[in-house]
Amino acid sequence: MGSELKKAIDQISKDRGIDRDLLIDTLEEAVRSSVARKYGDAMDIEVNFNEDAGEIEVYQFKVVAEEVEDEISEITLEEAKEHDPNVQIDDEMGFKLKVEDLGRIAAQSAKQVIIQRMRDAEQEIIYDEFKNRMHEIVSGIIQRRDRTGWIINLGRTEAVLPKGEQIPRERYKRGDRVQAFIIDVQKESRGPQITVSRSHPDYMTALFKREVPEVDDATVKIMGVARDPGLRAKVAVNSLDRDVDPVGACVGIRGSRIQNIVQELRGERIDIVVWSQDIAMYAQNALSPAVITRIAVDEEEKTLEVVVPDDQLTVAIGRKGQNVKLASRLLGWKIDVFTESRYGEMNAASKGLDQLASVAEIPVDNFLSAGFETVSQVANASEEILMSISGMTPSKVSDMKSAIMLLGIGDAEDAVEETETEAPVEAEAQVEETSQTEEAVEETDGEESEEQESKE
């Protein structure tokens, strides 16, 4: 009997990959709880696995007392002396219990506890395995859909691909093989809860590591990723080796490497951007394919004013603002895009306001804070309204009015205002036309997708 138990422990430990000592502890605990259920918690027992005999041994402990009030925990001096002639009052004595006395229920409960502990140990192993695989790509088979998203069978366990981590418009059915990126592993009572993503920017990085050896060995470093999942992405790269072209390495011969990634992401268009420490150069690369005329950098506000030729506005902004939005996200800076004509108008207006601020010896920011952006606004405002400008005095108001008349600042402003009524309208019409085109494209896309779904 003893050797059979020992063999069983060794076999379970080997087959399940569970620590042998953990199994023995579990068995001892099962027997201990069974004895407690049968005889009550008052019984003082000790349970041990005897390696030599290959069996579980249970010892009951009793205290030697003059008068026995509790037979489970106490023994008379006379009875105790039958076992040990040298025993005295208040000594503690151990008596071996026969495990067979525990009966069938005890054996069954021990079996249940062992099974549960084995499951727990297995779940612990799975948890540790996937915890160590955080931020790795895993492959599995679509099992089913629930309210949170798709459940993916990874073999030994399952993972969830939540709706928010899916690529929009991707469709799956039971049995499809899918790849995803592990973003979270939590320990829960029903087992490890693994969350995966296909839309996370780091999934793109992991795909480049897998497809591009130079990225994997850190010769080429991915400096940032901005994604509009399923549609377009921008990936900033930098080479730590002068002889290695980061863009060429990522694209591969005849685009072989980048195509594998595009295919995995269901046709997501990927722009490879050369990273630069110079934010203006970085922005110029990030806004590609748009042609940039000039870039004004505001370090404090982390804002870029990008000027493009009038015919490049829609290219720079992109469909639904996608190009400038992704570039802004990649840089972590706010990007404002202006056409050359619009930027020239704004500069002329601000130059006139600068001249007035100089005459009044008041910072131009004070004018802007009070809501004055052009010379004509100052010229047409009453003295009472002008006094709302911080640092303004009646004499300074008079000086400004004289400057507007004598220096002809107003004439320049009027010229600007005339052009403002023409050029921006053209730009607005262009943007409006673009948005209408986009709406039409969206409607077409919607109709096509509805037709596709009805076909399916």
| CATH 2.40.50.140 placement within the chain | 134-197
Q: Contacts by 244-247 with C-beta closer than 8 Å and gap 24+?
A: 244/214, 244/219, 244/220, 246/214, 246/220, 246/272, 246/274, 247/272, 247/274
For the chain, the first-to-last Cα distance in angstroms comes to 63
Map tokens 């080479």 to a residue.
Answer: 239
Cβ-based neighbour number of residue 328 at 10 Å: 20
Reduce the DSSP state of residue 51 to 3 states and report it: coil
Is the domain spanning 134-197 CATH 2.40.50.140? The answer is: yes
Q: Are 222 and 239 in contact (CB under 8 A)?
A: no
Cα–Cα distance, 58 to 448 (Å, whole number): 75
| Residues in Cβ contact with 235 at an 8 Å cutoff, skipping those fewer than 6 apart | 204, 208, 222, 224, 225, 250, 270, 271, 272, 273
Q: What is the pLDDT of residue 430?
A: 36
Q: Are the beta carbons of 12 and 18 closer than 8 angstroms? A: yes
- Class of the domain covering 209-275: alpha beta
**In contact, 327 and 287? CB cutoff 8 Å:** yes
Q: 307: part of which helix (H) or strand (E)?
A: strand 303-308
* CA 292 vs CA 289, 307, 317: distances in Å: 9, 6, 12
Judge residue 210's burial from the number of C-beta atoms within 10 Å of its C-beta, 0-12 exposed, 13-18 middle, 19 or more buried.
middle
Rounded CA separation 58/189 (Å): 32
Interaxial angle between packed helices 340-360 and 409-420, expressed in degrees from 0 to 180 and rounded to the nearest 10:
150
Closest CA to 180 of 163, 160, 155: 160
Query: Is pTM beyond 0.75 here?
Result: no
What integer pLDDT is reported at residue 443 of this predicted model?
42
> For residue 433, how far is the Cα from the chain centroid?
37
What superfamily does domain 2-128 belong to in CATH?
A: NusA, N-terminal domain (3.30.1480.10)
Residue spans in the chain of domains classed CATH 3.30.300.20? 209-275, 293-456
- Residue 374 tokens, joined: 């052009």
Q: Which fold has domain 293-456?
A: GMP Synthetase; Chain A, domain 3 (3.30.300)
CA-closest candidate to residue 162, choices 182, 132, 137 = 182
Summary count for the chain: helices (H), strands (E): 18, 15
Q: Which two tokens stand for residue 79?
A: 């009875």
pLDDT digits (tens, 9 = 90+) for 213-258: 999 999 999 999 999 999 999 999 999 999 999 999 999 999 999 9
**Long-range contacts of residues 118-127, Cβ cutoff 8 Å, at least 24 apart:** 118/12, 118/16, 118/18, 118/23, 118/26, 121/16, 121/18, 121/19, 121/22, 122/16, 122/18, 123/191, 123/192, 125/17, 126/156, 126/157, 126/191, 126/192, 127/185, 127/187, 127/191, 127/192
* Mean pLDDT per 10-residue section of the chain, whose length is 456 residues: 68 76 80 77 81 81 85 84 87 78 56 74 89 94 92 93 92 93 91 94 96 95 95 95 94 94 93 95 93 91 91 90 94 92 69 79 85 80 87 88 70 42 34 38 42 41
Q: Where in the chain is the domain with CATH 3.30.1480.10?
A: 2-128
Task: Please report the pLDDT score of residue 447 as a whole number.
Answer: 43
Look at residues 114, 99, 266, 287 and name the one whose alpha carbon lies nearest to residue 198: 266
Q: Is the peptide bond before 289 cis (omega within 30 degrees of 0)?
A: yes
Residues in contact with 268: Cβ distance below 8 Å, sequence separation at least 6, in sequence order: 167, 227, 229, 230, 231, 232, 233, 262
State the Cα–Cα distance between residues 255 and 420, nearest whole angstrom.
Answer: 46
